[in-house]
Amino acid sequence: MRNVFTIFWREYKSYFVSPVAYVVIGVFVFLVANRFVYKFNDFVEVTFKATAEAVRMQDTIPKFSINDEVIRYLFQQIRTISLFLLPMITMRLFAEERKTGTLELLLTSPLTILQLMLGKFLAGFGLFLTMVLPTGFFNYYMFKYGNPDLGPILTSYAGIIFYGAAVISVGILISSLTENQIIAGALTFGAFLFLWIVGRISESTYTVWSKVASYVSVTTHFNNFAMGIIDSRDIIFYLSFTFIGLFLTYQSIASLRWR
Amino acid sequence: MIQVDNLTKRYGGFLAVDKISFNLRKGEILGFLGPNGAGKTTTMRIITGYLSATEGRIKVAGHDVFTHPIEVKKNIGYLPEAPPLYREMRVHDYLEFCALIKGLARGRTRRKRLKYVIECCALEEVKNLHIHKLSKGYRQRVGLAQALIHNPPILILDEPSAGLDPHQIVEVRQLIRQLSGEHSILLSTHILPEASLTCDRVLIINRGKILAEDSTEKLTGKLKGNEKVSLLFSGGPDDMGKRIRQLPGIIKVSEQKGESRGEPRLLNIEYELGKDRRGEIVRLLVESGASLLELKPQSMTLEEIFIRITSKDG
């Protein structure tokens, strides 16, 4: 739909006019690179040592999977780090329009709330994809020096895409609730931190809640993707999550008429 | 073009708009005149679909605002009180964006309209500047350009000359007058000369209610109450004012204190509508030995009408 694209393109471009896009992408790539370098070096060290040991002991040389060790770790870092940076991307989507009064322009123009919301969502989502794009370089790097499996890498990216959509839908919802970007950012950060904690709970063996948490956790449903498995349950989870987030956002914007 | 029927808007307990009904006719300029907080902006926001109404019906160009908002919005160009501008965009890009979301799809039409509104609103010099660099006058004009860009039959302008310097105010008024005829215009203002100079008809609003509606001249006529004249004369007795007061039909005589004991003297005389008392006044003047210098009718300015109306209700 043309209107969706118009909104999307304007918003996406405006990310790059201010420092927002550059800082967010820069910080993200820096942190992920940092984690990648650490893990990769660690992997290299461990494998060399183990191989040297085995040779010395005349044992069979153990096999290591670069996929299991490095790539899965890389994508988990992408998942976690983006969770904490996404509030920076989503907080302005509606809050700024409300504050500057441009929402009045949008809501008195012949476009539907659905078109408006999708356009904004796609802009945030587009920036998210732009942010994750440079990580392809790390994967490429591993192909040059190792022998990773392409399958899990592709499914992991697919998982990141679904995961990003779900998380952004929460961010855009919170942004639509306030005029103040800082409040939106803080609330979104709090909400995402909560989501992350739920994810950690699902990984713990300590509490009885871990099973429940694993059903609802945004982060946990990514694990299958990271292992190379595409499970329809995970896809349905993410799509439902995204749908609910966007549905509530729609209601929030529609309710502004009834102030 | 616009029919508003019993429009009411309640914010919780506060009644912002109270059963307002009016029409905007094709090609005319209709003014909403009222003090701040009267309900002008709220009414406009409801007509443009930004707010909902508690009660009432509004039809714009034949479409009901509440059931067919998209059609309505296609037919309206709206300039809110604070022009809704994206500060980080350039003027040209912003207007292009507005053209797109208002439904101008085809490249050639869009480019033509862009050129036209840039010229019409005198934005040629600034069209490549970022909006945050513009002065208030230019921003207002960009806002106006945005309202015009899709050539809507109806323009709704909320305080279009707010914050402009006198030069710019004149330009904006001229522009609005130029646009009428082809466009039907509803504008709001609390600046009285603007209403009388620019508008064909005026609606006076206060506290959510329409207090008066008519063309500017008719309003002035209806609400005058009494005939007023000012009388400049010299000579004659000291109690000239009192004598005139004695004449039949005279309601009030007040003397304007000018130079002390000096000549000439100025009296403001009010008498009942209906009979022209000027002949009697002059005759009495001459008989008393004074010399008539000037006899001038005083019509009620919009200011006076406005204050009288809105304070009656206050």
Q: What angle do CA A82, A84, A86 make, to 5 degrees?
A: 60
pLDDT of residue B217: 63
Which pTM was predicted? 0.83
User: Percentage of chain B with pLDDT > 70?
Assistant: 90
Would you list the domain boundaries of chain B? 2-221, 225-298
Distance CA B121, CA B132 (A): 18
End-to-end CA distance of chain B: 32
The answer, yes or no, to whether residue A157 has pLDDT greater than 90, is yes
Q: Model confidence over A183-223: pLDDT tens digits?
A: 999 999 999 989 888 888 888 777 778 888 888 888 888 88
Distance CA A105, CA A200 (A): 43
Under the banding of pLDDT at 50, 70 and 90, the label for residue B1 is confident
Helices (H), B252-301: 278-287
Report the range out of A200-214, A244-258, B28-42 with the highest average pLDDT. A244-258
What are the structure tokens assigned to A127, written together? 């920036």
CA-based nearest residue to B233, from B198, B258, B202, B203: B258
Please name the member of A10, A18, A108 whose beta carbon is closest to the beta carbon of B73.
A108
User: Percentage of chain B with pLDDT > 90?
Assistant: 30
3-state SS track over A149-177: CHHHHHHHHHHHHHHHHHHHHHHHHHHCC
The answer, yes or no, to whether residue B241 has pLDDT greater than 90, is no
Under the banding of pLDDT at 50, 70 and 90, the label for residue A66 is low
- Per the listing, tokens 């502004």 go with A256
A177-196 residues touching B, CB cutoff 8 A: none
CA count, 13 A, side-chain hemisphere, B275 = 9
The answer, yes or no, to whether residue A64 has pLDDT greater than 60, is yes
Mean pLDDT score across all residues of chain B = 85
ipTM of the prediction greater than 0.90, yes or no:
no
Q: Model confidence over A24-43: pLDDT tens digits?
A: 999 999 999 999 999 888 88
Task: Enumerate the residues of chain B whose CB falls inside 8 A of the CB of residue A3.
Answer: 100-101
The answer, yes or no, to whether residue B260 has pLDDT greater than 60, is no
Chain A nearest-CA distance from B146, in A, is 9
Chain B nearest-CA distance from A10, in A, is 8
Torsion of CA A63, A66, A68, A73, to 10 degrees: 150
CATH of B225-298, one of 3.30.70.1340, 3.40.50.10380, 3.40.50.720, 3.30.70.20: 3.30.70.1340
The answer, yes or no, to whether residue A163 has pLDDT greater than 50, is yes
The answer, yes or no, to whether residue B224 has pLDDT greater than 60, is no
Torsion of CA B61, B63, B68, B71, to 10 degrees: -30
Please say whether the beta carbons of A73 and A35 come within 8 A. Answer: yes
- Could you give the angle at which helices A92-100 and A113-132 cross, rounded to 10 degrees? 130
Please say whether the beta carbons of B9 and B53 come within 8 A. Answer: yes
Under the banding of pLDDT at 50, 70 and 90, the label for residue B198 is confident
The answer, yes or no, to whether residue B237 has pLDDT greater than 90, is no
Distance CA B139, CA B8 (A): 32
The CATH number that domain B2-221 falls under is: 3.40.50.300
The count of other CB atoms within 10 Å of the CB of residue A39 is 18
Q: Model confidence over B103-137: pLDDT tens digits?
A: 887 788 888 999 999 998 889 999 899 999 998 88
Helix and strand numbers (H, E) in chain A are 13, 0
Please say whether the beta carbons of B309 and B223 come within 8 A. Answer: yes
Distance CA A231, CA A236 (A): 9
The count of other CB atoms within 10 Å of the CB of residue A135 is 22
Please say whether the beta carbons of A142 and A92 come within 8 A. Answer: no
User: Percentage of chain A with pLDDT > 70?
Assistant: 99
Strand order across the B250-256 sheet: B250-256, B265-272, B226-235, B290-297
The backbone torsions φ and ψ at residue B106, rounded to the nearest 5 degrees and listed phi first, read: -70, 130
Q: Do A101 and B73 touch (CB under 8 A)?
A: no
Query: Which residues does A5 contact at the CB level (< 8 Å), separation at least 6?
Result: A119
Q: Model confidence over A96-152: pLDDT tens digits?
A: 999 999 999 999 999 999 999 999 999 999 999 999 999 998 888 888 877 788 888
pLDDT of residue B300: 63
Helix and strand numbers (H, E) in chain B are 11, 14
Would you list the domain boundaries of chain A? 2-258
The answer, yes or no, to whether residue B166 has pLDDT greater than 90, is no
Task: Enumerate the residues of chain A whose CB falls inside 8 A of the CB of residue B97.
Answer: 6, 10
Task: Enumerate the residues of chain A whose CB falls inside 8 A of the CB of residue B52.
Answer: 257-258
List Cα–Cα distances, A48 to A51, A65, A185, in angstroms: 5, 13, 45
Under the banding of pLDDT at 50, 70 and 90, the label for residue B262 is low
pLDDT of residue B314: 45
Task: Enumerate the residues of chain B whose CB falls inside 8 A of the CB of residue A2.
Answer: 100, 105
Chain A nearest-CA distance from B190, in A, is 22
pLDDT of residue B190: 79
Looking at chain A, how many residues does it have? Answer: 259
pLDDT of residue B181: 79
